[in-house]
Amino acid sequence: MSYDNVEVPDDGNAITVDEDTGELAVPSNPIIPIIYGDGIGTDVAPAAQQVLDAAAEATGRSIEWMRLYAGESARERYDENLPDETVEAIREHRVAIKGPLTTPVGSGFRSLNVALRKRLDLYANVRPTYHLEGVPSPVKNPEKMDMVNFRENTEDVYAGIEWEAGTDEVEQVREFVEEEMGETGVIHDGPVGIGIKPISEFGSKRLIREAIDYAIENDRDSVTLVHKGNIMKFTEAAFRDWGYELAAEEYGDEVITEDTLWEEYDGEAPEGAVVVKDRIADNMLQQLLTRTEQYDVLAMPNLNGDYLSDAAGAQIGGLGIAPGANLGDGRVLAEPVHGSAPKYAGEDKVNPTAMILSGRIMLEQLGWDDAADLIRDAVETTISAGEVTYDLHRQIEGGTKLATSEYADAVCARIEELS
Ligand code: NAP
């Protein structure tokens, strides 16, 4: 494909997918698209790039970066927020990384992040939440947290099906609902906005399948389906029921339910079996704090996943640390959990760890586990030595406060030492 505003690196080869296995085929010098993003994206993305380059080089590889544009940087070049060639370049190159993109609240354009995930069918948002030694935390035992959250990315109230108060569409939906539900007053009189929450068998099962596959491949103990099915019976409860159905249909002895665990195994899971259980979302939010170590892999619809992963992120040091990635079939778009924090934009101040560790997930997806582990160890030793950005510095005694770029230099120096 030829591009208007994108420079394709001369060196480097494209990542492809093996037609037979569906696995990524990764050269040692892949072309990787990167979107710096809005606000602090221009601070954290170059820092992450520098660290990822150092880890690739230390393990005998290289990354050939291809800069793409979305949000403000796209408006400057294309006069639109999400140019087709940005989406197509990610589709073609399969594995990419992005910084945060600003979404206006209420009015203005819809979320570019949601649009990217939907257009590329990146249906699983994966957020590993683990504690790095030395990272200050508001809880007493942050090391108990070692979870991987799988959040459905394409449906739920995020599907973008909603109508503004005062429109004809709202009146049509109001009439339909009142006719169907057989009672008036379900929706209050006067101005009302209405949104729709689709949760499908297809969307739920493919997300939960990713979570169970991950648990089996990574020797995890359990997958917890997090839902609000006591209230939303045909959406959230259906998500749970489809999860149990999938576990029974596709996994045989590899997976057992929590009921079976207690009825047949007295609470001791057989060697290698993954336990599938479910929790109501509000209870799950308190269990994150009170019974942290009992949870492992979580699978949830879009909104629950959004809330829960920020809450879990807080326990291991906050948004400056929490990484993520969006996965589809043969496609990866890594991105930190945090947003564009506009008040800090361009100040060379914020913590790039979340973006660096998102890059680490990307490297794991490439099968570069040695480079990924090197990054984890380098970040951990840097933070343990008290070399941190402002967000962690304000929570620890002593320590050296570093700028974003200085912190990236410090992590790269550790990579060199450790390799
Ligand atoms: P935010 O940008 O994540 O920032 C909230 C606060 O979190 C910051 O003020 C800062 O706290 C802390 N923080 C975030 N990133 C940090 C980092 N790298 N290092 C240190 N501290 C960090 O959330 P927001 O202000 O709610 O959202 C701003 C914009 O980002 C919105 O337009 C939103 O839609 C968008 N957003 C985008 C994504 C995405 O691109 N995937 C995700 C979430 C939000 P302190 O001020 O206390 O230091």
3-state secondary structure 98-126: ECCCCCCCCCCCCCHHHHHHHHCCCCEEE
Q: Is the pLDDT of residue 109 over 80?
A: no
CA dist 207 and 221 (Å) reads 18
What number does the ligand 1 atom closest to the CA of 101 have? Answer: 40
* Contact (CB, 8 A) for 284 and 224: yes
282 is a catalytic site residue: yes
Q: Kind and range of the H or E element at 97?
A: strand 95-98
Nearest-CA residue for ligand 1 atom 31 is: 102
What was the pLDDT predicted at 75? 93
Q: Is the pLDDT of residue 105 over 80?
A: no
What was the pLDDT predicted at 356? 98
What one-character DSSP code corresponds to residue 13? Answer: B
Lowest mean pLDDT among 177-191, 202-216, 333-347: 177-191
Residue 200 tokens read as 């499908």
**Cα–ligand 1 centroid distance for 394 (angstroms):** 17
| pTM, 2 dp | 0.92
Catalytic option among 84, 221, 259, 282? 282
Task: Decide whether any atom of ligand 1 lies within 6 Å of the 350 Cβ.
Answer: yes
**Cα–ligand 1 centroid distance for 38 (angstroms):** 11
Distances (CA, A) of 77 to 7, 8, 71, 74, 340: 13, 16, 10, 5, 20
CA dist 110 and 125 (Å) reads 19
Q: Where are the beta strands (DSSP E) in 287-401?
A: 297-300, 325-328, 331-334, 387-388, 400-401
377 is a catalytic site residue: no
Task: Decide whether any atom of ligand 1 lies within 6 Å of the 113 Cβ.
Answer: yes
The HSE-up count of residue 381 (CA atoms within 13 Å, CB side) is 14
* Residue extents of the structural domains in the chain: 1-137+316-419, 162-195, 200-314
Chain centroid to Cα 255, Å, comes to: 25
Q: What is the mean pLDDT of residues 273-286?
A: 97
What number does the ligand 1 atom closest to the CA of 104 have? Answer: 32
For a pocket test of ligand 1, which of 340, 356, 393 has the largest count of ligand atoms closer than 8 A to its C-beta? 340
Q: Report which residue type is found at 349.
A: K
Identical topology for domains 1-137+316-419 and 200-314: no
Q: Is the pLDDT of residue 88 over 90?
A: yes
Q: Is the pLDDT of residue 183 over 90?
A: no
CA dist 231 and 248 (Å) reads 25
Over residues 126-144, the pLDDT tens digits come to 999 999 998 999 999 999 9
Nearest-CA residue for ligand 1 atom 1 is: 339
Task: Decide whether any atom of ligand 1 lies within 6 Å of the 292 Cβ.
Answer: no
The four Cα atoms 182, 188, 191, 193 give a dihedral, to 10 degrees, of -70
- Mean pLDDT of all residues in the chain? 94
What was the pLDDT predicted at 22? 85
- Is 394 one of the annotated binding-site residues? yes
Distances (CA, A) of 233 to 151, 299, 311: 19, 17, 25
Query: Which residues, including other chains, have CB under 8 Å from residue 333's CB and lie 6 or more apart?
Result: 90, 95, 96, 97, 98, 116, 117, 120, 122, 325, 326
C-beta atoms surrounding 280 within 10 Å: 17
Split at pLDDT 50, 70, 90, the class of 241 is very high
Q: Kind and range of the H or E element at 261?
A: helix 258-265
Q: What is the mean pLDDT of residues 294-319?
A: 94
Residue 1 tokens read as 């494909």
- 3-class secondary-structure state, position 395: coil
- Name the CATH superfamily housing domain 1-137+316-419: Isopropylmalate Dehydrogenase (3.40.718.10)
For a pocket test of ligand 1, which of 43, 97, 303, 319 has the largest count of ligand atoms closer than 8 A to its C-beta? 319
Percentage helix, strand, coil, to 5, in the chain?
A: 45, 15, 40
CA dist 204 and 325 (Å) reads 18
Kindly provide the b/e burial profile for residues 84-115, where b requires at least 16 CB atoms within 10 angstroms of the residue's own CB. ebbbbbbbebbbbbbbbbbbeeeeeeeebbbb
Beta-sheet pairing, 325-328 with 331-334? antiparallel
Query: Which residues, including other chains, have CB under 8 Å from residue 375's CB and lie 6 or more apart?
Result: 51, 52, 55, 356, 357, 359, 360, 363, 411, 415
For a pocket test of ligand 1, which of 117, 338, 348 has the largest count of ligand atoms closer than 8 A to its C-beta? 338
CA dist 376 and 362 (Å) reads 13
Split at pLDDT 50, 70, 90, the class of 106 is low
CA dist 83 and 5 (Å) reads 10
Query: CATH number for the 200-314 domain, one of 3.30.70, 3.40.50, 1.10.10, 1.10.405?
Result: 3.40.50
3-state DSSP of 137-190? CCCCCHHHCEEEEEEECCCHHHHCCEECCCCHHHHHHHHHHHHHHCCCCCCCCC
Catalytic option among 36, 123, 158, 295? 158
Split at pLDDT 50, 70, 90, the class of 178 is confident
Catalytic option among 306, 349, 407, 409? 306
306 is a catalytic site residue: yes
Task: Decide whether any atom of ligand 1 lies within 6 Å of the 72 Cβ.
Answer: no
- Is 339 one of the annotated binding-site residues? yes
The four Cα atoms 252, 256, 262, 267 give a dihedral, to 10 degrees, of 110
Query: Which residues, including other chains, have CB under 8 Å from residue 312's CB and lie 6 or more apart?
Result: 127, 129, 145, 147, 149, 288, 322
Beta bridge partners of 97: 34, 334
**Cα–ligand 1 centroid distance for 337 (angstroms):** 8
CA dist 312 and 316 (Å) reads 7
What was the pLDDT predicted at 249? 96
What was the pLDDT predicted at 318? 87
**Cα–ligand 1 centroid distance for 111 (angstroms):** 14
